[in-house]
Amino acid sequence: MKLTTHDIDALVTWSLIRAAHRAQRELTQLFAEHGLSPVQFGVLTHLSTGTPMTQAQLAREVLVRPQSISGVLDGLVHRGLISRSEGRSKGRRNPLTLTTAGHDLMSVVWPLVHAANQPDRLGLSATETATLNEILLRLASDQDRPQP
């Protein structure tokens, strides 16, 4: 089988992966300058809403396994960026919240990430950016998608 560039570019999911890798490289560098990984940024972002969240809820929001997020959360607690609301024990809800230090870090990082998402930085119009985001949010959601 001989493919053409057009054949390859017609694969929506492959184009999405390529675009995601580019965006991840750029944001990962920005996060690293502030001592964060993309997953840590995701956790801090969701806790920035002011709603306490459990480990399982945060794992779902940042699209990682609950087992994988445990070390991430422990590191953020150790750095004083988030706190657990009560003693940690197996089988008990243990909501996490953003600390003052976490809010302070987000007040520095969020504007930089927001700037990186501006249409002119993405090479898109405002309408294209809004449409793309709407589509990506649908693709990222498990709802209303046929299962293979």
User: Can you tell me the mean pLDDT for 73-92?
Assistant: 82
Which 8-state DSSP code applies to residue 85?
Answer: S
Q: Which residues have CB under 8 Å from 80's CB, separation 6+?
A: 99, 101, 102
Spelled out in words, what is the top-level CATH class assigned to the domain 27-140? mainly alpha
The number of beta carbons lying within 10 Å of the beta carbon of residue 145 is 9
Average pLDDT over residues 9-25: 93
Model confidence pTM above 0.85: no
pLDDT at 20 exceeding the cut of 60: yes
Pairing of strands 96-98, 82-84: antiparallel
Tokens 């920005």 appear where?
Answer: 30
- Model confidence at 66, in pLDDT bands (50, 70, 90)? confident
Task: Please tell me the total number of residues recorded for the chain in this structure.
Answer: 148
Are 69 and 58 contacting, i.e. CB atoms less than 8 angstroms apart? yes
What is the DSSP code (8-state) at residue 3?
-
In percent, how much of the chain has pLDDT > 70?
Answer: 90
Which residue ranges make up each domain of the chain? Answer: 27-140
Span 84-133, pLDDT tens digits: 986 555 555 689 999 999 999 999 999 999 999 999 999 999 999 999 99
- Once rounded to an integer, what is the mean pLDDT over residues 28-47? 96
